[in-house]
Structure 1
Amino acid sequence: MAKRNAKQDRSHKHENSRLEKKPFVSRREQLEPNYYEKFQAIEREWKKFISGDDAVDRNVVSVEVFDSWTRCRKMAVDPLVIPHHKILTGADLAKLLKDNEYFINISRPFMQNLHKFLAGSGFLVALYEKAGHVLEAIGDDDAVNHARRGKFVSGALWTEESAGNNNVGTVLTLRKPIQIFSAEHYHRYFHHETDSSSPIFSPEGEFIGGICLTGHYFRATRDTLGMVIAAAKAIENEMQTREASRKLQIAYSFQKTVITSIPEALITIDNQGRVSLINDNAREMLFQRLETIEGQPIQKVMGKENQQFLSMIKDKETITDAEVRIFSHSGGNDYTMTCNPIIDGDGETIGKIIILNEITRAKTLVTRMIGAKAKFCFEDICGQNSRFLMSVDQARIVSRNSSNVLLLGESGTGKDVFAQAIHNASNRRSGPYLAINCAAIPRDLITSELFGYSDGAYTGSRRGGNQGKFELADGGTIFLDEIAETPLELQAVLLRVIEDKSIVRIGGSRVRPVDVRIIAATNKDIMSEIRKGTFRKDLYYRLSVFSIHMPPLSERLDDIPLLVEHFIKKFEKNSGEKVHVISKQVIETFQHYNWPGNIRELQNVVERMMNYADSGKLTVDHIPPEITKTSVFANDQESMTSLKEFEHQAILKMLQGKLKKAEIARKLGMSRPTLYRKLKEYDIS
């Protein structure tokens, strides 16, 4: 029995010996050829160098090692004294590890794999950051304890200055893989070790630290450095993969946020016509009856009733703001559609993106973009003349309803301001306000401008047609200035629009309801135009539910002081210049002038005078000649002479200010030819 137990013990010992066999041998005869001789040769050269002899055999000592020895000598590193390391502890160590948490977490699995492969060999696997602090070390208990005695622990700073050339500090300097064998260490304390270390770079190419192997020199092989390099590369690849994934996630989050934020309905389809992406607005507007949309053919999703839409996206590569009618769970609705190809990095079309905007919303956006908003209110209207205030009171009454209004008065009396004030005081104030000068639009274009045109109405016309101003003003007010200039054929169309409250685009047949209040204006004697047959009487009656007469400035001369003060404040605000005094004679001159251009002319004259004045005072000398010539002060030759001299000085001053002649002419309220004539008259070169 004892013999059998002894035999079993020997068997167990043999088995344990086999299991504990190490991947690296320790007997000298099993080292690489001439390994021990290499150690002895390097140690001889090391002794020679630290004794002050630089005649080192460069066939024995590599360039990298010799250069590192030289750096250590210059830093006064003592190769015979046990090195002293700075070691972070407490809050400083916690901050170091927190700052490098991402780096550590990525690297740890690769460090563990390397340690597992080298288990029992006595090697220590360590990670360090870009300043040279050790972050983490993994190894067998003996290796970890040995490292702890040598201060190779988390938080320890291992630079060449503190420990000579080593697996951390030397890589910090060279930024490339290196193996330091035994006596290649500058410090004698580490001659029993071999260090293999490789730097690690971020996906952006920034040095962030490295990974190293430390063990007894007689256990190192040619493969040790290769293992470290492979581990470093694996860590870099993992970081690149995670960074690519992170960027994709960020891009996806941005894309999702943008798509969700778009107020329009958005759909993307692939080359096979399958829906690949749809935002919530599209789902709500079009597809409430469907649960699964992504991956479905667009033809199936839209249904046969939307053949117009399907044909458009099939036939055309690019579509811009085309109008299309789409039938969905809520019935038929009109949309503007934009469709563009999706191009990949190779320039290949991989799908299409479709954006649908409800016409009602599109109208709101368009009117906002083109400035379809009234600026003036009744509070902005300036005047105390009794006849003028009567017109203001009439306008206030008119603003309480949606009846059409006809404003009558000379040019420059403020009809456009009244129209805006009426709109802003009405229950349509939140709707669009569009102003059209009927005399400024060519006769052959005004109909399409007002009422729009359908797809194909003209050669070269916009695909999908175009909305007219009446459609854009739906729910608001349209101001038709100089209405008497419209051709008779347009008057007939306008009359029908007023009566039917709907329009038909040119070239189309579809009746489109519109809810628009019309405020028209003219500077002509409208009854005379009716008698001449140039304006329809029936249209006049439809437009003039309310008629408001705008008195000319010549009939409200008592308002001139108030108006002048108003315009001066306005120009002061825009220019930053201040006028402290207005000559009494200026007001008197203004009140003795008939103002054929009305308020618009007065505003122009005040602005011109302010550009002449540089003393903070407006005097009669600043009044333009055409005003003084027709006033009761026209015979004041001395005043005229003074004005010419001031005009001369003003031109000189502006030229010295390096203003362009076009700008000078504008500021002085004259044309460029007039300015050139003045330059010649005053002999100014």
Structure 2
Amino acid sequence: MLDTVERFNSIYSEWRKFVRGGEVDRSIISALVLDAWERCKSKGVDPYLVSIPLVLEGKALDDLLETNSELIEISRPFMEHLYEFVKGSSFVVALADADGFLIQLVGDDHILQSIKQGQFVVGACWREEIAGSNGVGTVLALRKPLQICGCEHYCINSRRWTCSGAPIRNSEGHLVGVIDMTGHHELAHPHTLGMVVASATAIQNEYRFRKALAECQIADSFQRTVISSIPEIIIAIDTDGTISLMNNNAKKLFGSHPDGHPAMNINSLWQRNNSKLLDHINNNDSLTDIEVRIQFKNSFADFTLTCNPIVSMNKVIGKLIILNEIKRARTLATRMMGAQANFQFEDVIGNHPDFLATVELARIATQIDSNVLLLGESGTGKDIFAQAIHNGSRRSDGPYVAVNCVTIPRDLISSELFGYSDGAFTGSRKGGCPGKFELAEGGTIFLDEIGDAPLELQTALLRIIEDKSIIRVGGTRVTKINVRIIAATNRNLKEEVRKGTFREDLYYRLNAFTLQMIPLRKRKTDIPFLVDSFLRRISMSMGKEIIAVDNDVLEKFMQYHWPGNVRELQNVLERMMNIAPTNRLTSCLLPSEIVDERLSNDSDYATERIDSVERELVLRLLKSTLSKNEIAKKLGISRSTLYRKLEKYGHDR
């Protein structure tokens, strides 16, 4: 509604009454305007103010504009768009910050010059307590859109103008400024305020859009960083097969344009004869660990492929493809399964000359790549030597796969060694499964108890050694292998060859480098060193420290013939530590076979000696702080059995 001269004069008359302390006609002055006047009066604002007293200049103004640079940048296009509607009609569009300082003006040149007289300039503060009620300060005070026309302004320097202002809030809802449109008071119209409110809303939407965009960019940065850190090869494609995203490993493998975009369509990555795979991908099928061969310019490589649809709004918009190089994946898999070599030559304990000579030969084996045959009795440490040879060789970064030749069922020999293809037999794993030799690619395979291997297994091994390649069960593709074989046995293979239970051709294939393990009875001077090493290792695993071993225990150890060799020594020590009531190992803890080897031929003596040792141990445990339940548990017997033994030894319950 346009101000008329009559209305202008009537409001002016009421304003004069107010500043002089008179009663105001509330039918003429709205509650909003009157409340603003009262706030200004209570704050001591001069109603006859001609010029704004607070105007920033120089560095202070530069700092103000820098602080509000985002608000200015976001608001400027909307201010210019609003100005286009009123261009040439003596209006100016103003932007103020949350403290009421003007930071941007857009308008006709003549109106910009005119309003300078009232200090309506960039840097001027138009808060109510500084400039009286107005389209900036009062909006900040009430935090809502409003229009103040002519003499509704508290100070006379603004009575020529009509001001329509609206608050601006950022994406978090915080008040950051005001957009105002000011013109001559006779041009006032309610629609002016509506235009200003629409502009404020547009600015607020831009804040929200920028926040959402920033969040998307942050999420995208996180996503790309995570994807680039994944060791697998990650490729995202759209429904046409165009690559939209590749992580760093994919770019290294397939290349990319200088601008960073992928270099090719996904279909160009696969072999032409791999149509079945392409059909799966194009049909939005989910695939898991499917083996594929990818052709490059002058070579190819084998991978496992996992493919899942990317779904948005219940619609497939693309696919995520994960490639894992089979060689790397199998190395990781063997390590996860615990199939890795943990022992080094530093872990091999002994100073006996014959034993040291064997160690030296084993070190020589690390410098060559021939197959190695380890011969020796059970428990002499053949598996430890095999691991040490692997870790000392150039294959140490490759996998170490141990296979017990006796435990493989005859009907599974081929699939265990060679692996099997997808659908090779009922119940087979989808996508197939690699065999032991594929898992050991680039590393070492340890064939334990080779002398007990059935002839079917021997034949399969011979074929692998001769061809240096395998064909999976149910498959047709020949896969070259690069694996070193270390075999071990406690049998006399020459004798087994003579008897016809071991293939002569396989024996000579394995016998390129032979190591003969030294039994413990032939290097008894190493027993104290082995005892010390085992005690430390077992104490750590059991959380029980043994600080001393009685001399008579060591004497018995030196007298015993150790048919189970080093493994038997370790087991004896562990058994003694389990039942030791103190932190010392004494002779009463020794197993019967070590106490006196005559026990095997003299049952009466054996029974008598066992009873004596058992009685001494039980009585010692009773003197400890252990309860009877704990004593029975430590002895490995039931509580009722313990009570019977107490009665037998004449001990009261």
TM-score class normalised by the smaller sequence? 0.7 to 0.9
Counterpart secondary structure, 1:508: coil
Give the 3 Å change call, closer, same or farther, for CA 627–553 of structure 1 in structure 2: farther
1:179 counterpart residue number: 147
1:516 counterpart residue number: 483
Q: Structure 1: how far apart are the matches of 2:122 and 2:644?
A: 88
Q: Structure 2: how far apart are the matches of 1:611 and 1:157?
A: 86
Give the 3 Å change call, closer, same or farther, for CA 579–269 of structure 1 in structure 2: closer
1:250-265 maps to which residues of 2 (within 5 A)? Answer: none
Q: Please tell me whether residue 196 in structure 1 is matched to residue 164 in structure 2.
A: yes
Counterpart secondary structure, 1:138: strand
Q: Please tell me whether residue 588 in structure 1 is matched to residue 554 in structure 2.
A: yes
Q: Aligned-pair distance for 1:106?
A: 2.5
1:133-172 maps to which residues of 2 (within 5 A)? Answer: 133-140=101-108, 144=112, 152-163=120-131, 165-172=133-140
Kept after mapping to 2: 8 A contact 1:404/1:517: yes
1:467 counterpart residue number: 434
Q: Structure 2: how far apart are the matches of 1:524 and 1:164?
A: 108
Q: Aligned-pair distance for 1:319?
A: 1.8
Kept after mapping to 2: 8 A contact 1:529/1:535: yes
Q: Structure 2: how far apart are the matches of 1:217 and 1:155?
A: 24
Kept after mapping to 1: 8 A contact 2:54/2:124: yes
Unmatched tracts of structure 1, length 5 or more: 1-28, 654-664
Which of residues 357, 360, 363 in structure 2 aligns to 1:393? 360
Give the 3 Å change call, closer, same or farther, for CA 125–674 of structure 1 in structure 2: farther
Q: Structure 2: how far apart are the matches of 1:260 and 1:206?
A: 37
Q: Please tell me whether residue 130 in structure 1 is matched to residue 98 in structure 2.
A: yes
Q: Aligned-pair distance for 1:400?
A: 2.0
Give the 3 Å change call, closer, same or farther, for CA 426–284 of structure 1 in structure 2: closer
Q: Aligned-pair distance for 1:454?
A: 1.4
Q: Structure 2: how far apart are the matches of 1:644 and 1:552?
A: 39
Q: Aligned-pair distance for 1:338?
A: 2.6
Q: Please tell me whether residue 275 in structure 1 is matched to residue 253 in structure 2.
A: no
1:619 counterpart residue number: 584
Counterpart secondary structure, 2:402: strand
Cα deviations by residue, 1:202-230 (Å, 9 ceiling, x for unpaired): 34544432312244544322122112112
Kept after mapping to 1: 8 A contact 2:588/2:616: no
Q: Please tell me whether residue 324 in structure 1 is matched to residue 295 in structure 2.
A: no
Q: Aligned-pair distance for 1:517?
A: 0.9
Counterpart secondary structure, 1:519: strand
Give the 3 Å change call, closer, same or farther, for CA 224–675 of structure 1 in structure 2: farther
Cα deviations by residue, 1:519-577 (Å, 9 ceiling, x for unpaired): 123456666766776654543443333333334555544334434444565578889x8
Q: Aligned-pair distance for 1:386?
A: 3.0
Range 85-94 or range 447-456, more displaced: 85-94
Letter in 2 for 1:61: S
1:540-555 maps to which residues of 2 (within 5 A)? Answer: 540-553=507-520, 555=522
Q: Structure 2: how far apart are the matches of 1:535 and 1:175?
A: 96
Give the 3 Å change call, closer, same or farther, for CA 299–193 of structure 1 in structure 2: closer
1:236-635 maps to which residues of 2 (within 5 A)? Answer: 236-241=204-209, 270-271=238-239, 273-277=240-244, 279=246, 304-314=272-282, 317-327=285-295, 329-330=297-298, 333-343=301-311, 345-364=312-331, 366-367=333-334, 370=337, 373-439=340-406, 444-484=411-451, 486-523=453-490, 535-553=502-520, 555-567=522-534, 581-582=547-548, 584-585=550-551, 588=554, 591=557, 599=566, 618-620=583-585, 625=589, 627=591, 630-631=594-595
Kept after mapping to 1: 8 A contact 2:376/2:518: yes
Letter in 2 for 1:340: N
Q: Structure 1: how far apart are the matches of 2:118 and 2:170?
A: 30
Q: Please tell me whether residue 94 in structure 1 is matched to residue 59 in structure 2.
A: no
Unmatched tracts of structure 2, length 5 or more: 597-608, 647-653
Range 122-131 or range 514-523, more displaced: 122-131
1:8 counterpart residue number: none
For normalisation by structure 2, the TM-score amounts to 0.76
Give the 3 Å change call, closer, same or farther, for CA 534–171 of structure 1 in structure 2: farther
Q: Aligned-pair distance for 1:69?
A: 6.1
Q: Structure 2: how far apart are the matches of 1:45 and 1:430?
A: 96
Q: Aligned-pair distance for 1:430?
A: 3.2
Counterpart secondary structure, 1:107: helix
Which of residues 623, 626, 637 in structure 2 aligns to 1:648? 626
2:11 counterpart residue number: 39
Kept after mapping to 2: 8 A contact 1:581/1:618: yes
Q: Aligned-pair distance for 1:286?
A: 7.1
Q: Structure 1: how far apart are the matches of 2:387 and 2:116?
A: 85
Cα deviations by residue, 1:289-312 (Å, 9 ceiling, x for unpaired): xxxx98998768868544344344
Kept after mapping to 1: 8 A contact 2:374/2:488: yes
Q: Aligned-pair distance for 1:426?
A: 1.9
Q: Aligned-pair distance for 1:457?
A: 0.4
Kept after mapping to 2: 8 A contact 1:308/1:324: no
Give the 3 Å change call, closer, same or farther, for CA 144–59 of structure 1 in structure 2: closer
Q: Structure 1: how far apart are the matches of 2:442 and 2:45?
A: 90
Kept after mapping to 2: 8 A contact 1:609/1:618: no
Q: Structure 1: how far apart are the matches of 2:639 and 2:69?
A: 75
Give the 3 Å change call, closer, same or farther, for CA 585–618 of structure 1 in structure 2: farther
Which of residues 6, 30, 43 in structure 2 aligns to 1:61? 30
1:220 counterpart residue number: 188
Q: Aligned-pair distance for 1:199?
A: 2.1
Counterpart secondary structure, 2:515: strand
Q: Structure 1: how far apart are the matches of 2:75 and 2:519?
A: 86
Counterpart secondary structure, 1:648: coil
Cα deviations by residue, 1:430-466 (Å, 9 ceiling, x for unpaired): 3322223445555544532321001210223233322
Kept after mapping to 1: 8 A contact 2:421/2:473: yes
Kept after mapping to 2: 8 A contact 1:171/1:198: yes
Letter in 2 for 1:510: R
Give the 3 Å change call, closer, same or farther, for CA 37–159 of structure 1 in structure 2: closer
Q: RMSD over aligned Cα, in angstroms?
A: 5.0
Which of residues 63, 74, 87 in structure 2 aligns to 1:106? 74
Give the 3 Å change call, closer, same or farther, for CA 90–468 of structure 1 in structure 2: farther
Give the 3 Å change call, closer, same or farther, for CA 81–604 of structure 1 in structure 2: farther
Give the 3 Å change call, closer, same or farther, for CA 81–39 of structure 1 in structure 2: closer
Give the 3 Å change call, closer, same or farther, for CA 41–541 of structure 1 in structure 2: farther
Give the 3 Å change call, closer, same or farther, for CA 122–487 of structure 1 in structure 2: same
Cα deviations by residue, 1:91-122 (Å, 9 ceiling, x for unpaired): 45434322332321222233234345445655
Q: Aligned-pair distance for 1:317?
A: 0.7
Counterpart secondary structure, 2:506: helix
Give the 3 Å change call, closer, same or farther, for CA 151–239 of structure 1 in structure 2: same
Cα deviations by residue, 1:148-178 (Å, 9 ceiling, x for unpaired): 5655544455445555554344444544322
Q: Structure 2: how far apart are the matches of 1:415 and 1:565?
A: 21
Kept after mapping to 2: 8 A contact 1:372/1:433: yes
Kept after mapping to 2: 8 A contact 1:335/1:359: yes
For normalisation by structure 1, the TM-score amounts to 0.73
2:650 counterpart residue number: none
